[in-house]
Amino acid sequence: MNIYVILKRTFDTEEKIQITNGQIEEDGAEFIINPYDEYAIEEAIQLRDEHGGEVTLVTVGEEEAEKQLRTGLAMGADKAVLIDNEEVEDRDPYTTQALLAAYFEDKEADIILGGNIAVDGGSGQVGPRLAEKLGIVHVTSIVKIDIADGKATIERDVEGDQEIVEVSLPVLVTAQQGLNEPRYPSLPGIMKAKKKPLETLDVDDLDLDEDDVTGKTKTVDRFLPPEKQAGKVLEGEVDDQVKELVSLLKNEAKVI
Amino acid sequence: MTKKVLAVGEIRDGEFRNVSYEAVAAAKEIAAGGEVVGVLLGENVSGLAQELIQYGADRAVVVESDKLASYTPDGYAQALQAVLEQEDPDGMVLGHTSIGRDAAPKLAARLDSGLVSDATAIEVAGEEVIFTRPIYSGKAFEKKVVADGKVFVTIRPNNIAPLEKDESRSGDVSELTVDIKDIRTIIKDVVRNTASGVDLSEANVIVAGGRGLKSGDNFKILDELADVLGAAVGASRGACDAEYCDYALQIGQTGKVVTPDLYIAVGISGAIQHVAGMSNSKIIVAINKDPEAEIFNIADYGIVGDLFDVVPKLTEEFKNVVVKS
């Protein structure tokens, strides 16, 4: 099977966010593979091990994302592609869609896996957008997938309910938490990953102009939410605290 | 300039989800005095369309089809595309729900359009519509504008207030026939898990448990509290990783991001990745035996104590107050 994973380099979820002049401070921050994309990589490796074929990782980002691609290769993916978007000034999910669509045009993927959302931008647009552009069906938020006879049977999370759907390949799926338990790269895996092919492409290489990939939306400001003040820790006997709390919620906060 | 904006309603179990009315309110804001058209897709749903008008839409368009009885990306994309072609609006609002998240990007790609996902606030400044949306799961926010094309947006449930229902309002409800074909997704089964029936993303009150609960069985004391309050039950990553509950309940940067009026955190330490998913709740209550727990730094009200003692007592007290009022 021709298996692809689209992934993104994101801030570590343990990082605090700082903003200077409307820009996110990246200095000194830890970066990781977007956690949802990690599920996608793990699933891709399992599908390859079961059905044969090859796993190709594709990311759109700046050159630093090579590190995350190497991590994915160390987990067991076979090769990787970095589509460098640094020269595109105004980017949004449309930009990523356009770059990926151009890349995938001649690829004949059987399955493309991605994360349900990225934990930074959080829009969850790129998967369904790309599938639409490639003319293939998409299934979002999957927690289980079985492939047999050119068909995928998929369990997806629909706001807590489970929906079981069947689609024919090729398909694009996005991974939800619970799909699997991503493996850690092994030491031999890390050694091998250094020699695996990693290709870098830019807008030109994909026969696109900057105009073709300029975002359709624009970020005009970024800001931090007002800091929450630590509130009132109640005192006294438990029975009294409970009474006081309910009374505060009713009369002061007015939320019940 | 006034705009014509579509607001897509969403039906669950024969009733509108609240976010439908919120979408109408959002559309009205964006329209800036222009026309708001409610849109409804489904099977045997026409009877409900008038309600979108009572919540502020000027008229409504309904696409009825047995092929729209359940959501599929292909079915919805075809139906919405047909509505867009007929109406040629300046914008469209959907809920940022399981359906909206799935359908809106597909449609945006089809129309080479931008899309602002998961907006929590809207302001109109002259020609420009400015959307606020959380990034990094609510650790920060960004303001976005549409630079090119139609104003497509999905709105986060529970953030944009619906307009008051006005039962005297009425308007035209028209049906659009769409030949929906080639649906590539076959739905085999749907398994309902949400026992209480209250969805986390739309819940006004959430009771969430962490590792402090010590077992999956002990979550039933949270269920009892949630029952009294009509609340949804959620959990921290710690509780999910320890298999006390299903990942579907997880609140945090990985998991659901929620903004209820009242969030009761029980036995949750307050790790940064959990806080990202709930810190924008209106009122936060923390119950934890560790007075140094991080969660108290963001809680409006805290009780330091043994949750197995506090929670049942709290349930009883709420029973007294809720029943009385």
Q: What is the mean pLDDT of each run of 10 residues along chain A (256 residues)?
A: 98 90 90 97 98 98 97 98 95 97 97 97 97 98 97 93 96 96 96 97 95 95 86 92 94 90
Residue B1: count of CB within 10 angstroms of its CB: 8
Give one word for B139, left, alpha or beta, with left for phi > 0 and alpha for psi -120 to 50: alpha
Give the number of C-alpha atoms closer than 13 A to the C-alpha of residue A138, restricted to the C-beta side: 31
- For A218, the closest of B135, B145, B193 (CB atoms) is B145
Contact B109 A129 (CB under 8 A): yes
Q: pLDDT confidence of B146, banded at 50, 70, 90?
A: very high
CA-angle at A222, arms to A120 and A21, nearest 5°: 120
How far is the C-alpha of B20 from the C-alpha of B25, rounded, in Å? 9
Whether the bond between B134 and the residue before it is cis, its omega within 30 degrees of 0, is no
Mean pLDDT of the B10-18 span = 92
Q: How many residues does chain A have?
A: 256
Examine the pLDDT at B176 and tell me if it is beyond 70: yes
CA dist B19 and B25 (Å) reads 10
Percent of chain B residues topping a pLDDT of 90 = 85
A25 contacts on B by Cβ (under 8 Å):
none
Are B252 and B273 spatial neighbours (Cβ–Cβ below 8 Å)?
A: yes
Distance CA(A103)–CA(A90), nearest Å, equals 20
**pLDDT at residue B197, as a whole number:** 62
A and B: number of Cβ contacts within 8 A: 268
What is the pLDDT, as a whole number, of residue A118?
A: 96
Query: Do residue B110 and residue A160 have CB atoms under 8 angstroms apart?
Result: no
Contact A29, A15 (CB under 8 A): yes
Cα–Cα distances in angstroms (integers) from residue B94 to residues A168, B2, B39, B89, B154, in the given order: 28, 19, 10, 14, 5
Strand-pair category, B205-209 with A31-33: unpaired
Q: What angle do CA A193, A194, A197 make, to 5 degrees?
A: 80
**Do A238 and B229 lie within an 8 Å CB cutoff?**
no
Q: How does pLDDT run across B100-113, given as a tens digit for each residue?
A: 999 999 999 999 99
Q: Is the pTM of this model over 0.90?
A: yes
Contact B11, B49 (CB under 8 A): no
| Of A245, A253, A235, the residue nearest B320 (C-alpha) | A245
**Alpha-carbon separation of residue A173 from A81, A164, A166, B57 (angstroms):** 19, 13, 12, 35
User: A242–B187: do the CB atoms touch at under 8 Å?
Assistant: no
Q: Return the amino acid letter for A76.
A: G
Q: Which residues of B touch A93 (CB under 8 A)?
A: 105, 115, 117
- CB nearest to B147's CB, from A132, A143, A216: A216
* Contact yes or no for A159 and B200 at CB 8 A: yes
Please state, in angstroms and rounded to a whole number, the distance separating the CA atoms of residues B144 and A92: 10
- pLDDT for B202 equals 82
pLDDT for position A161: 85
Q: What is the pLDDT of residues B210-246, one digit of tens each?
A: 999 999 999 999 999 999 999 999 999 999 999 998 8
Å from B44 to nearest chain A CA?
22
CA separation for the pair B222, A24 (Å, rounded): 38
User: pLDDT tens digits, residue range B181-218?
Assistant: 999 999 999 988 755 567 788 889 999 999 999 999 99
Q: Is the distance from CB of A30 to CB of A12 less than 8 angstroms?
A: yes
* Predicted local distance difference test score (pLDDT) of residue B322: 77
Q: Which residues contact A119 (CB under 8 A, 6 or more apart)?
A: A10, A11, A13, A34, A35, A36, B136, B137, B253, B254
B18-56 pLDDT tens trace: 999 999 999 999 999 999 999 999 999 999 999 999 999
Sheet bearing B301-304, strands edge to edge: A232-233, B301-304, B283-288, B262-266, B205-209, B232-235
Please choose, from the candidates B19, B156, A66, B29, the residue with its C-alpha nearest in 3D space to the C-alpha of residue B5: B29
Residue from A9, A12, A13 whose CB has the most chain B CBs within 10 Å, to mutate: A13
Nearest Cα residue to B264 out of A253, A177, A13, A224: A253
Alpha carbon of B42: minimum distance to chain A alpha carbons (Å):
18
Residues contacting residue B109 through CB under 8 Å, at least 6 positions apart: A94, A97, A128, A129, A130, A132, A133
Given the structure tokens 């986060």, which residue do they identify?
B156
Chain A, residues 48-77, CB within 8 A of chain B, namely none
Q: For B81-94, how does the pLDDT look when each residue is reduced to its tens digit (9 = 90+)?
A: 999 999 999 999 99
Mean pLDDT of B298-303: 96
Whether B325 shows a pLDDT value over 60: the answer reads no
Cβ contact A256–B262 (<8 Å): yes
Tokens 């994101």 correspond to A10
B-contacting residues in A 88-127 (Cβ below 8 Å): 90, 92-94, 97, 119-127
Q: Which pLDDT value is given to residue B306?
A: 97
Task: Note whether A125 contacts B105, CB cutoff 8 Å.
Answer: yes
What is the Cα–Cα distance from B248 to B227, expressed in whole angstroms? 19
Q: Residue B1: what pLDDT?
A: 77
Chain A residues inside the 8 Å CB shell of B253: 13, 119
Helix (H, G, I), strand (E, B) or coil at B183: coil
Whether residue B68 is predicted with pLDDT greater than 90 in this model: the reply is yes
The pLDDT assigned to A106 comes to 95
Q: Which pLDDT value is given to residue B321?
A: 87
Structure ipTM over 0.85, yes or no: yes
Which residue, chain included where needed, has tokens 């009369």? A251
CB contact under 8 A, B190 and A245: no
